[in-house]
Amino acid sequence: MRRAGVGASVLLLAVAFTGYGVPSARAAETVTYEVISNSIGIADIEYVDQDGRRLITSIPLPWRIDVPIADAEGPTGQGAQVRADWRRIRAPYKWVTVRISQAGRALCESTLDVGNVTCYGNTPHFS
């Protein structure tokens, strides 16, 4: 019986020193969101940072921000994403581009003239 107690003690010490079974905290990554246009002056912008979804309205373009996020290429809802909405002033050939980059590497870039454009870090898309 004494041997089992010693073995269990050794196992507990090994777990305590290695951190096995303890979730590790991930350091936040930084992504850069950009919204640019040569023909639209303002847009409503929605983006995700490590605290969740943010909506800012009537933002002058061009716009750029660096934000911390847990996983830039993570699933939609938690990963990097940016959306620009200018539907109330949309018109043909009024293009807006949204872009997500991380450490100088483009994750996504999308350009549309329909009044709404999105980009997701987990969906490499370049248009």
Please report the pLDDT score of residue 63 as a whole number.
Answer: 99
Q: What is the pTM of this model?
A: 0.76
pLDDT tens for 74-83 read 887 789 999 9
**CA 87 to CA 89: how far, in whole Å?**
5
**CA 36 to CA 29: how far, in whole Å?**
23
Q: Where does 13-77 show beta strands of DSSP type E?
A: 29-36, 42-49, 52-60, 63-69
**CA 1 to CA 44: how far, in whole Å?**
69
Burial class, 19, CB count within 10 angstroms (exposed 0-12 / middle 13-18 / buried 19+): exposed
pLDDT surpasses 50 at 18? no
Q: Could you give all domains of the chain from N- to C-terminal order, each with its CATH number? A: 26-120 (2.60.40.2880)
Confidence band of 87 (pLDDT split at 50, 70, 90): very high
